[in-house]
Every structure is written in structure tokens, then in C-alpha cells.
Structure 1
Amino acid sequence: MRWTWYLFRFDGRMRRTGFWCSLISVLFGMILLVSLYVGIISVLGGEVGSFDLNADDVFKIVDPRAYRWSLLDNLPLLLLKLAATALMLWTYLAIVVKRLHDRDKSAWWLLAYFVLPGLYNQFEDRLPDTYWMLPLALGGVILSVAAFVETGFLRGTQGPNRFGPDPKAEDDSTPAATSAKGWDQSREIEIVPPHASPPGGMHVKRGA
């Protein structure tokens, strides 16, 4: 199905419309997942506790101080959070990579647009509080804004590139798009020659 390509695959190119629709779908999926978790825990009479989803949680893996050992007391919450974070990270990367492909950029740009700002945000409170850190902080903000603008607002390369054909051209060439451009009525009018019409004197003879 087409939605599996939008959310889970890394090949091809994605237009801005597909990018935003995919992000909205992921957002609704997160809301549904959290609601489902709260409902199940409430029915079982357990404590709901705190439950949030963020793609940046993946950077806590490289930060021992960020481990939530208290979550071990609530094993269902821990397992759900791990599964939900992994699923959200996969879909987020799949969406962004295809959008970068549309801009004729490889997935290596995720290092600048996602990894470096994420690592800085994770360790920001433990970095030295000096002016020497100002360029690093400014660089993280600039990269985050650049990623948001490029993936969300800039048009992809016109025509095919190294990652595939132009998705806009493919959508414009579909039968639905072609028929929407206009209906050529002249092609639907059938010209009937005069001899094909019934003669004026023809009548039905009734029996006596």
C-alpha cells in the first residue's frame, strides 16, 4: 500500500504535500497510542504516570545520566516507550530522508540536520558556561531551522535526479490529473452524416 512507502521506506522522493501529510499522520498515531495506553492503565487500575514521545529521546542512549532507572518499576510503561520511540524514530527518518532525496541531498545530511543538534541539546546543561560555547549553540539553532525550512517549505529539484523521477511530474501525469485539466467536448461529439438519419416520408403501415 502507498502509506507504507510514505511512513516506512527510505527510497524515492517525497513532495512537500506528502511530507506534511505524513507528519500529521504520525502525530495522530502518537495521540492514539498515548490515549490507548492511558485507557488500558486506567482500566487495570494502575498509575498512569508520565508518558511522552520525542524523537530526541534516542540521544539518551549515549547519555548514562539520562537513564530512567525508575521506569523499571513500571515494566509495561518502559516497553511501550521503547517500542513507540523506535517506531516514531523510524517513521521520522523515513519521511525526512525521502524529502531530502527530493532536494537532491543524501541521507548523510541527517548528521548535520538531526544528529548534531540532538547531541548538543542532550548535553547542553553539562557544557562549560562560557562564550566559547556560543558558536556551538548558534550552529545548533541554525542547523535546526535550516532543516525545518528545507524539508518543509522548499520545492524539490525539477525533473528526475539521482534518487528518482520528479514526484510532482508523476502526479500531474496521472489519469485523474489529466482529466481534471479539462474535458475536450469536441472529441465526444459524434457527427452523423445526413444519409444516416431516417427519411422524412417513412411511416408505419397499419394492417386493415
Structure 2
Amino acid sequence: MKPAKILFSTEGRIRRRTYWLYSIALTVAYLAIYFGVAVATGTLDTLASDTTSPILDVTEAILSIAMIWPSLCIQIKRWHDRDKSWVWIFINLIPIIGWIWSFVELGCLDGTKGQNKYGNSPKRANHEAVAATFD
């Protein structure tokens, strides 16, 4: 699956590895842009103090809004891999228990073996792609 489809489409399934890689990549991109703006605008020192910087506040708001859809898409695809509907995304609204449940289901447990109602197994697709290179 192409990166654009992983980040901007809710269709299909992704493996745990893909989920973790894209989650980490989104976090690193967020932090890199945020701290890059802080360094470029000379407001890095405000991060360690009680004062706030309007530039960093706006940057944080824009980045947070921009990350919502890609984050939702990768989580929905993981729920699909677990053979569960997108509505399971709302479990994140339950403090602590919901976050732990989501972490375990999406980040730790294996997906449904074989095909489910959301598509073919991403593991099988990877194995077939590798096998096809040796034909």
C-alpha cells in the first residue's frame, strides 16, 4: 500500500509494523516541524519557561489539526485488520482504560488471519509480493 493511501484513506488493513512506523513517523514529523519553527523564530527559550509564544501556539494548533486525519486513518486501518469497525476509534475517548485498550489492540495484537470484510491480510499481500519477485 502506498504512503498516501495509508495516511489519507480509511479503506483496507495495515499490519502492526506499518502502524508503528507511521505513528512514529507522524510524531517525529510533528516534533521536527515544531522545534524547527521554535529555532527559526528564536522562541526555543520560551519552551523551558512559563511564558508562551503566539508563534508556537499557532504552530502547535496547525500541526495538531493537520495530524488528526492521518492519525485516524492509520488507526482505522488497524481496527480493520483486527476485524473491527471504525467506530472502535471512539474507545480513545475513555481516559486510561480506552487508551490502554487501544494500545493493546492496535499496537500489540496480531491482525485477523486471512481475509476479512475489510480486505485481504496485509501479511499475505507482503508474502505474495516477495514470492512474485522470485518467479
* 1:38 Cα deviation from its structure 2 partner: 1.4
* Match in the other structure for 2:22: 22
**Do structure 1's residue 165 and structure 2's residue 126 form an aligned pair?**
no
How many residues align? The count is 133
Residues 179 and 88 (structure 1), Cα distance of their counterparts in 2 relative to 1, 3 Å cut? same
Q: RMSD across aligned C-alpha pairs, in angstroms? A: 2.5
8 Å CA contact retained: 2:83, 2:116: yes
* 1:149 Cα deviation from its structure 2 partner: 0.7
| Aligned residue identity for 2:36 | L
SS of the residue corresponding to residue 28 of structure 2 reads helix
**Do structure 1's residue 115 and structure 2's residue 93 form an aligned pair?**
yes
8 Å CA contact retained: 2:113, 2:121: yes
8 Å CA contact retained: 2:34, 2:60: no
8 Å CA contact retained: 1:41, 1:48: no
Deviations 1:82-124 (A, max 9, x none): 2101122222211111100000111111122x1232xxxxxxx
Residues 48 and 91 (structure 1), Cα distance of their counterparts in 2 relative to 1, 3 Å cut? farther
**Do structure 1's residue 100 and structure 2's residue 79 form an aligned pair?**
yes
CA distance in 2, matches of 1:178, 1:37: 45
Higher relative contact order (CA 8 A, sep 6+): 2
Report the TM-score when normalising by structure 2: 0.84
* 1:48 Cα deviation from its structure 2 partner: 5.0
Report the TM-score when normalising by structure 1: 0.56
**Do structure 1's residue 12 and structure 2's residue 12 form an aligned pair?**
yes
Structure 1 unaligned blocks of 5 or more: 52-69, 118-140, 185-208
